[in-house]
Structure 1
Amino acid sequence: MARFRSDREHAPFCLYPLISFYAHDGANFMSTTSDTTKDTSSPRTLRPLWRNRDYVLLVSGQAVSSVGSQVSLVAFPLMLFALTHSALQTGLIAALRALPYALITLPAGVLVDRWDRKQIMIVADFGRALALGSIPLALWLGHLTYVQLYLVSLVEGTLYVFATLAESASLPHVVEPEQIPMASGQDQLINSTASLIGPALGPILYSIGQAIPFLADAISYMASVISLFFVRIRFQDERSPKQSTAKSLWTDTKEGIAWLWHNPLIRFLAILTFGLITPCYGYLLILIVLAQGMHTSSLVMGLIFAGEGVGSIIGSLIAGPLYRRLGFRKLLIGTAWIWAIFWLLYALAPNPLLLGIVNAVSFTVVPVYMVVQYSYRAAVIPDQLWGRVNSVFRLIAFSSQPLGIALTGFLVQWIGPVYTVLLLFVPQGIMCVIATFSKHIRNA
């Protein structure tokens, strides 16, 4: 796993998604809704997020399903290896789950703009509940095969693409523009907590019974479906009949590509995110090799990894307040530099304690950066183009996981972990310098 999650921008399988409505000082806001005119002549009293019924229902369902997803993410390879005793076939199941992200993200973005987004989320979660629920049923009948596990993984990965694109578009309709950074920070908190709890819970449930992790995930998706049924608000603006008429998928996709290409700041955010994330996808391999070189025990190595979860939770909690205090420009540039500098410090950490601290801080900054870039996107991308533009953005920013992991493995084998860190810092440092002097960020 990478050191972040994507819009639920998490990497292909879990990605942390997010992004807001502020001008550069964080005090003025742009609304993405077309049916409401904000009165900026006097301060408004905002309803707390916890008193927003639709928001609480949405995030509660997503929180439960996130934990379930992380549980089954660990259980899938455990189950397949038990069936096949083949590391190759076990690895293929992860590849199949990620494959739809690369293949159908763009057309899925078009369909998310055409169809009812709430219904997309309901159908996707219900479909994933059925797919995951088929595994306990097959175990009970005594007919579970690795082919079924492959198919379930492929279905789950496909529906994940639709669900997360629709979910990321829903937030600006559920909360007020001023609350987007805080709400997206809480979304990061949910994913960070799920990533901490789920992988630990998965093997425990699997040891109790092979079917239990998959049954738990199926139930978690049904909990999300039920919560969505009770959400009253629509997840998109009203569409005219002309907007809903079916043009070709490619024609609609080109509209999303063209909009992103002609918006220089959104385009640069996609490239900046790619430049920061791609060198870090293989961080886990580097961390393991560095820790082993320090003759670290398994217990200490586990504590180093545990720092990731703690750091990401802290980052999720402070992201919203930092955005309000610093605004888009300062926080974007600051988090980009902290991201890159703490990556460099992996190579300089002299002992396991400092290596763990560096790792924890690295994971603290990731959700903050994700909140910043998501919040700006949510402010400026038109609702009727959200799915298409967001799918293009994701494809640029988050689809390089295979490249990043392969490159890291090659470099570690060739020049060792320390020089690998130094070399992979170069593209991150270059992107930070460009961001610092970018007129588009300066004028945002």
Structure 2
Amino acid sequence: MGDTEQRGASGRDFARYLNARTLSVLGAVISAVTLPVLVYQLTGSAGWTSAVTAAEALPYLVFGLLAGALADRLDRRRMMVALDFTVAGVLLTVPLAWLAGVLTAPQVVVVAFVTQTAFVFFDAANFGALPALVGKDQLTVAYARLYGRTTVLELVVPGLTGLLVAVAAPAALLAVNALTGVGSALLLRAITRSLATPRPVQGAGELVADVREGLRFLWDEPVIRTLTLVGATHSVASGAWVAVLVPFADRVLGVAPSGDLRLAALFSCWGVGAVVASRLLPRLTRRWGNARVSLWALPLSLLGGVLVVVSGHWLVVCAAAVYWGVAGATVVINGITYRQQVCPEDLQSRVNTTGRMLAWGLGQPLGAVLGGVVSVAAGDPRAGLAAGLAVLASGVALAWVSPALRRASQPLGRS
């Protein structure tokens, strides 16, 4: 096969991958909106609704390390296809049970847990699949394109799903979600390029050794270690913002928690910033390099959070939140792509899943709890957000005192 043919095949494979991820994220967003609404309609209980949220949050903490170890040993493409089909089948049980009149809240909670568990293993395989598919030199551009597309979905789909839930049965929407899983699986199965070099699993001891190897690499590589720890502090701040956004809008900005379109605007601001960041980041890293971009994006992100806290008008908060979204998404995307560029191919899933587990699986929930507890104790949602930003400030300080990160951020030719 000639060079032109190879590039054409690679481009087609990436297009299939990108479309598969688009369908997968579309389905995940539909589920995230639909399942809590569905269980609340069944029970009228905030407790059951919280149980669905907990069921969706728990799997990354429980299975993250195992998922990474398996994804570095198994055929990633086949693993992702199997998981997509599994999610489609599990989700389909909900509309079928609803049609039969036997749907219960415990079934919805179990479905939430199983589908999110499948996502953890899918995500682990995905972390190693993208570098294998596009090559490390094209990774920042490819991931930025993927992040930009999926962020648009996360901006638009929740509102549309909310409108559909208001006029249609939530259980029926999950049938659409099952179809997106099947579509994603078929697209992934059509990829011709290898996404892994499978190694047989010969016992639990090997998996434990694999987990240790991944943790050791993450800890021993000083720049990745610093960016991972700092990324966790960044997730604490974003988790606090998500937790206090509605009471902040209500009590500080006078934006009602229902029936006020300004609340939808506030929810969208971070995502708008993330789309902008996905466009800017490839240029920034080409000019200054990943480490230097991280070093400067972190304090700029902290500044964005501070501007949100001190702003008292919803339009000013929107502008500050869009700016925060640009800086914050730059931190997130850049940290992930740098980790994937430095990490050896056979450690991709383990190292990146561990990084995601610390940031999204641990930092985000901790930030939400911190923001909620401080807000209640102080009687002011701004205090909850400020507490999350204080944690981020410690991460910014850690980054700037890190000799490895500062050394890596120096322009070529300087010591």
Scaled by the length of structure 1, the TM-score of the pair is 0.84
CA distance in 2, matches of 1:117, 1:48: 21
CA distance in 2, matches of 1:105, 1:262: 20
**Residue identity opposite 2:227 in structure 1:** L
Q: Who is 2:195 aligned against?
A: 235
CA distance in 2, matches of 1:433, 1:81: 43
Could you tell me how far 1:145 is from its partner in structure 2?
A: 1.8
Q: What stretches of structure 1 of length at least 5 have no aligned partner? A: 1-43
CA distance in 1, matches of 2:121, 2:27: 18
Q: Does 1:376 align with 2:318?
A: no
Q: Does 1:198 align with 2:185?
A: no
Say if 1:49 and 1:56, in contact at 8 Å, map to a contact too.
no
Q: Who is 1:41 aligned against?
A: none
Moved more, 412-421 or 117-126: 412-421
Could you tell me how far 1:388 is from its partner in structure 2?
A: 2.0
CA distance in 1, matches of 2:76, 2:232: 27
Say if 1:107 and 1:253, in contact at 8 Å, map to a contact too.
yes
**Number of aligned residues:** 398
**Residue identity opposite 2:48 in structure 1:** Q
Q: Who is 1:366 aligned against?
A: 328
1:411 paired residue among 370, 374, 386: 374
Say if 2:20 and 2:185, in contact at 8 Å, map to a contact too.
yes
Q: Does 1:209 align with 2:169?
A: yes
2:213 paired residue among 255, 266, 276: 255
Say if 1:49 and 1:183, in contact at 8 Å, map to a contact too.
no
Q: Who is 1:9 aligned against?
A: none
Say if 1:304 and 1:356, in contact at 8 Å, map to a contact too.
yes
Q: Deviations over 1:279-326 (max 9, x none)?
A: 331213433333332323523233222323322222222222222222
**Residue identity opposite 1:291 in structure 2:** A
CA distance in 2, matches of 1:151, 1:225: 22
| Superposition map of 1:227-306 within 5 A | 227-237=187-197, 239=199, 244-246=201-203, 248=205, 249-292=207-250, 293-296=252-255, 298-306=260-268
- Note closer, same or farther for the CA distance 1:154–1:427 as it changes in structure 2 (3 Å cut): closer
CA RMSD in angstroms, aligned pairs only: 2.3
CA distance in 2, matches of 1:251, 1:110: 9
Say if 1:108 and 1:161, in contact at 8 Å, map to a contact too.
yes
Moved more, 96-105 or 137-146: 137-146
CA distance in 2, matches of 1:95, 1:299: 28
SS in 2 for 1:430: helix
**Residue identity opposite 2:21 in structure 1:** Q
Q: Deviations over 1:31-72 (max 9, x none)?
A: xxxxxxxxxxxxx99998997011000010110121121012
**Residue identity opposite 2:392 in structure 1:** Q
Could you tell me how far 1:340 is from its partner in structure 2?
A: 0.7
2:180 paired residue among 197, 220, 224: 220
1:167 paired residue among 108, 126, 129: 126
2:53 paired residue among 94, 108, 130: 94
Could you tell me how far 1:257 is from its partner in structure 2?
A: 1.5
CA distance in 2, matches of 1:46, 1:418: 56
Q: Which structure has greater helix proportion?
A: 2
Q: Who is 2:26 aligned against?
A: 67
Q: Who is 1:58 aligned against?
A: 17
Q: Does 1:82 align with 2:45?
A: no
Could you tell me how far 1:237 is from its partner in structure 2?
A: 3.6
In percent, how many aligned pairs have the same letter? 26
Say if 2:78 and 2:189, in contact at 8 Å, map to a contact too.
no
- Note closer, same or farther for the CA distance 1:48–1:412 as it changes in structure 2 (3 Å cut): farther
CA distance in 1, matches of 2:168, 2:291: 50
Could you tell me how far 1:274 is from its partner in structure 2?
A: 0.9
**Residue identity opposite 1:388 in structure 2:** R
CA distance in 2, matches of 1:422, 1:400: 16
SS in 2 for 1:211: helix
Could you tell me how far 1:121 is from its partner in structure 2?
A: 0.4
Could you tell me how far 1:341 is from its partner in structure 2?
A: 0.9
- Note closer, same or farther for the CA distance 1:193–1:272 as it changes in structure 2 (3 Å cut): same
CA distance in 2, matches of 1:311, 1:323: 18
**Residue identity opposite 1:140 in structure 2:** L
Could you tell me how far 1:426 is from its partner in structure 2?
A: 2.6
Could you tell me how far 1:197 is from its partner in structure 2?
A: 2.1
CA distance in 1, matches of 2:216, 2:314: 48
Q: Who is 1:314 aligned against?
A: 276
Could you tell me how far 1:177 is from its partner in structure 2?
A: 2.3
- Note closer, same or farther for the CA distance 1:430–1:401 as it changes in structure 2 (3 Å cut): closer
**Residue identity opposite 2:217 in structure 1:** W
Moved more, 291-300 or 226-235: 291-300
| Superposition map of 1:108-127 within 5 A | 108-127=67-86
CA distance in 1, matches of 2:211, 2:26: 32
Q: Does 1:443 align with 2:403?
A: no
Q: Who is 2:388 aligned against?
A: 424
Could you tell me how far 1:422 is from its partner in structure 2?
A: 3.7
Q: Does 1:130 align with 2:89?
A: yes
**Residue identity opposite 2:330 in structure 1:** V
CA distance in 1, matches of 2:365, 2:333: 24
**Residue identity opposite 1:123 in structure 2:** A
If asked which structure has higher relative contact order (CA below 8 Å, sep 6+), I would say 1
Could you tell me how far 1:89 is from its partner in structure 2?
A: 0.7
Q: Deviations over 1:79-109 (max 9, x none)?
A: 1111111110111011112211111111111
